[in-house]
Amino acid sequence: MIFNETKIKGVYDIDTEPHEDKRGFFMRTYDDKKFKDKGLNRDWVQENHSFSKHKNIIRGLHFQFKPHGETKLVRVVSGEIYVVFADLRKDSDTFGKWGSITLSKDNRKMLYAPKGIAMGICTMTENCALLYKMDNHYAPESQGAIRWNDPDLAIEWPIDDPILSERDSEAMSFKEFVEKHVGLEE
């Protein structure tokens, strides 16, 4: 595995190193020693599988409030997904900044995002499946969401007219988040 820190401190684009031959491939998607060597030591307590049937679905920007903040290790096993990560950590040098990565079944990349990072996805193909490990149990009472098209964050999404859930359509703005919560604690 090759760990590449993004412009958001603590968020890593991880290249897997598949071994391929005429039968297919084998790749390691987690190695606690390699993660510990990078200071990314986590006890993963939950793994989720998200499936999106259609192209142009946006989910997010989602996060969890303390004490239920989540570090996530994300990868795509079917389709192609544009993933956005926004820094909500109140003491971070990159607070209010965002980055993105395309994860796909073909590029076999992963994304590591620490607590305090909001994430959103946009499906670029039909039938997208996303797997992600978390280091904390999901707590619905601690969930938060910021509007996908917030003008202050000015995220450059690859589509203009997404399919959204009611929750994501009614999410708070970044300005509302800052006024109410200041930021997230790690």
H helix or E strand, kind and range, residue 177: helix 174-181
The three-state secondary structure class of 77 is strand
The three-state secondary structure class of 94 is coil
pTM, 2 dp: 0.94
- pLDDT averaged per 10 residues, the chain (length 186): 96 94 92 94 94 97 96 98 98 97 97 98 98 96 97 96 96 97 90
Residue reference for tokens 């997404």 = 162
Residue 4, sorted as left (phi over 0), alpha (psi -120 to 50) or beta, turns out to be beta
68 given a catalytic annotation: no
User: What is the model's pLDDT at position 185?
Assistant: 84
H helix or E strand, kind and range, residue 118: strand 117-123
Write down the catalytic residue from 12, 82, 112, 132: 132
132 given a catalytic annotation: yes
- CATH number of the structural domain 2-181: 2.60.120.10
